[in-house]
Structure 1
Amino acid sequence: MNEPILTIVVPCYNEEEVLQETTKQLTYLLEDLETEKLIHTQSKIMFVDDGSKDRTWNMIEEESFVNGYVTGLKLSRNAGHQNALLAGLMKAKEFSDCVISIDADLQDDITVIREFILKYNEGCEIVYGVRRKRDTDTFFKRTTANGFYRFMQKIGIDLIPNHADFRLMSKRALDELCRYEENNLFLRGIIPLIGFKSDNAYYDRKERLAGTTKYPLKKMLAFAADGITSFSIAPIRFVTLIGMMSIILSVLLGGYAIVQEILGHTESGWSSLMISIWFIGGLQLLGIGVIGEYIGKIFKEVKRRPKYSIEANLNLEDTPRKREIFHESTVR
């Protein structure tokens, strides 16, 4: 079997603190894989700058001048992690046999990429990087993450537990991904729907190289909400169920009130009246909010706006001379 052309896609947003070390580690990895004849010499590292406000793009450009492995895309604005990742995947599939996505902080263990390639050579179209355990997470994050995966499975959404966006996809799988045209991207849910032969590669997650996470609690909650509402109408059904239960409860309480009226035991009560008003009002607002969330997603979908715009695209051709310069600079 011929060595596949591999591209490693790395979405970046304000990653100047880690970019140099990330480039070095990924470059050495590709060199080792080439030496083992596991990948083609035209394999690349593609950094996707998602509208960074620091020197991230300048560093990508500078590195591309001296390192033949490095190329990049610059988005015209911050389009979000999922859109930046998709932009890199769609561009990389034009000249690659397989593509691996990984975050710039390299908390995901890059040594498992070798296992990705071996599984690809065995016929897998998709290989998921899955964490063995979550011991490095805080108790809160570990508990909420596990609860999220269990909830998604309960409402019928097929996710790979403890898998983020560290995965290998073949060109065939990426071509199939192009057919999923929704604007509300949740790649962790979409990719298992493709259904080609897949496998898992397990690893232990490391500490971030430097800087701070780009996914604080607020973004994680928004990401989880997008995942739920993009793949399931269970929340609307849940609100409907609550509404039906409220009607049944109201009928029972109404019957109780009539009986008390007949028996002459009724007394005017301000507290019970206000509790009922707040309870029913809260249910109505909750229902309107959930329905509004879905209507908002429909609004975004029907406009069919582009998910991202590419401002700059570094030369993607193989440049052996650059690789020689990189080797010289590392020897010094």
Structure 2
Amino acid sequence: MKICSGIDMRSSAGMEKTMSSILYVVVPCYNEEEVLPETSKRLKEKMTSLIAGNVISDRSRVIFVNDGSKDSTWSIIQKLHQENALFGGINLSRNRGHQNALLAGLMTVKDCADVAISMDADLQDDINAMDEMLQKFHNGCDIVYGVRSKRATDTPFKRITAEGFYKVMNWMGANTVYNHADYRLMSKRALEGLAQFKEVNLFLRGIVPMIGYPTDVVYYERSERFAGESKYPLKKMLAFAMEGITSLSNKPIKMITNLGIFVFLMSFVILIYSLVRHFMGATITGWTTIIASIWAIGGLILLSLGVIGEYIGKIYMETKERPRYIIEQFLNEK
């Protein structure tokens, strides 16, 4: 990770120019009608404070991305936009998932903003951490990750599974920032770098670190969800982990190769053992051994085919070059 110095490396105009930067806050939303009124209230207070302090330009905006919600989320976003130009909205043509919704927001605002901050709508991310993120941006950082300092509000099960998620991801070759979700700051240059990644199978937590550029982290305490239900239960988190691993790493394929070599070598050991037993006159037909071997080898074959199938499926989706999202409407006042 490239740690930023105190010098603005993005512009020769230095601090004077960046202190009036246009900030766009991108917030993906899926069925968030319960929390949006409070989220918009807190974001309005924070943005107003930053504008008053000349930290960001008064042309800065908060953009809510409606990811095909089935409740009144989009209606609330439209009302917020009508009441205050600070708020804007992007309405996707249908539900495309959190990562695609987030990418849609970032790619839509990259030509309007000097810097963008992405965060979830559930108010678990500390909005006040934006101050330190912007300070690091002014000091020359292109990417600033919001990282949880602790997991005191999590249940033991949630803590173990969440921390295990990051460890397994890194072990399998999908390099991510530990305890970082999607709360991050990205400069215009970083957004333009992100736009060059064309894959359909998105895992932004692994893609963003590949961009490079000066990077830093901001630690904060994550709160409990303000209202509504989590959009990432255990089942969905496991699927998300599999998506990330198979999208960013070919280590599982290499593990299958190594496993195949190991089983092949073991077969020679078993063959030698069987011949020794035969010549010693101690051969007895072992039903249990045969059945166990059949099930073990059969299971390994099916598992290997499943992993390879995941990669083939991703190749299939990538070659189709389908759009990652389609925007139905964009509400924004520049």
TM-score of the pair, normalised by structure 2: 0.93
Q: Given the alignment of the two structures, is residue 295 of structure 1 paired with residue 312 of structure 2, yes or no? A: yes
Q: How many residues align?
A: 317
Q: What's the secondary structure of 1:160's corresponding residue?
A: coil
1:62 aligns with 2:92: no
Does 2:177 correspond to 1:143?
A: no
Counterpart CA distance in 1 for 2:140 and 2:26 is: 21
Correspondent of 1:272 among 289, 308, 316: 289
Alignment of 1:2-151 (within 5 A): 2=17, 3-151=20-168
d(CA) in 1 for partners of 2:293 and 2:78?
Answer: 63
Deviations 1:139-163 (A, max 9, x none): 2222222223223333443311111
Amino acid at match of 1:93: K
Aligned equivalents of 1:147 and 1:24: distance in 2?
A: 35
Secondary structure, aligned partner of 1:17? coil
Separation in structure 1 between the aligned mates of residue 219 and residue 297 of structure 2, nearest angstrom: 48
Deviation at 1:282, TM superposition (A): 0.6
Q: CA RMSD in A?
A: 1.1
Distance in 2, Cα, partners of 1:61 & 1:255: 74
How far apart, CA to CA, are the structure 1 residues paired with 2:173 and 2:255?
14
Correspondence 1:317 to 2:333:
yes
* Structure (1/2) with the larger helix percentage: 1
- 1:168 aligned residue: 185
The one-letter code of the counterpart of 1:28 is E
Q: How many Å separate the matches in 1 of 2:91 and 2:178?
A: 31
> Are the equivalent residues in 1 in contact too, given 2:88–2:333 (CA < 8 A)?
no
SS at match of 1:52: coil
- Specify the alignment match of 2:256 in structure 1: 239
Quick check: 2:126–2:220 contact (8 Å CA) kept in 1?
yes
Cα deviation for residue 231 of structure 1 reads 1.2
Deviations 1:223-255 (A, max 9, x none): 111111111111111111111111111111111
How far 1:83 sits from its partner (Å)?
Answer: 0.2
* Structure 2 counterpart of 1:94, one-letter code: D
Aligned-partner Cα distance in 1 for 2:218–2:66: 27
Structure 2: unaligned runs, 5 residues or longer: 1-15
Mapped partners of 2:53, 2:326: distance in 1 = 37
SS of corresponding position for 1:41:
coil
**Is the 2:85–2:333 Cα contact (8 Å) retained in structure 1?**
no
Distance between the aligned counterparts of 2:246 and 2:174, measured in 1?
A: 11
Structure 2 partner of 1:325: none
- Alpha-carbon deviation of 1:67? 1.3
CA distance in 2, matches of 1:144, 1:215: 12
**Partner AA of 1:149 in structure 2:** Y
Alpha-carbon distance between aligned partners in 2 of 1:278 and 1:5, rounded to the nearest angstrom: 61
For residues 159-217 of structure 1, give each alpha carbon's deviation from its aligned partner in whole angstroms, at most 9, with x where no partner exists. 11111000010111100111110111111111111110111111000111101101111
Paired with 2:215 and 2:274, the residues of 1 have a C-alpha distance of 61
Q: Please list every run of 5 or more consecutive structure 1 residues that lacks an aligned counterpart in the other structure.
A: 319-332
Counterpart secondary structure, 2:34: helix
The corresponding residue for 1:329 is none
Which deviates the most, 30-39 or 149-158?
Answer: 149-158
Aligned to 2:196: 179
State the alpha-carbon separation in 1 of the partners of residues 175 and 327 from structure 2: 32
Q: Give the aligned partner of residue 229 of structure 1.
A: 246
Q: Matches of 1:243 and 1:95 in 2, distance apart? A: 52
**Which 10-residue stretch deviates more, 121-130 or 242-251?**
242-251
What is the TM-score normalised by the length of structure 1?
Answer: 0.93
Letter in 1 for 2:92: L
What are the superposed Cα offsets for residues 115-147 of structure 1, whole Å, 9 maximum, x if unpaired?
Answer: 111111111111110110112222222222222
The C-alpha deviation readout for 1:32-79, integer Å capped at 9, x for no partner, is 001111000011010000000000001100111101111100001110
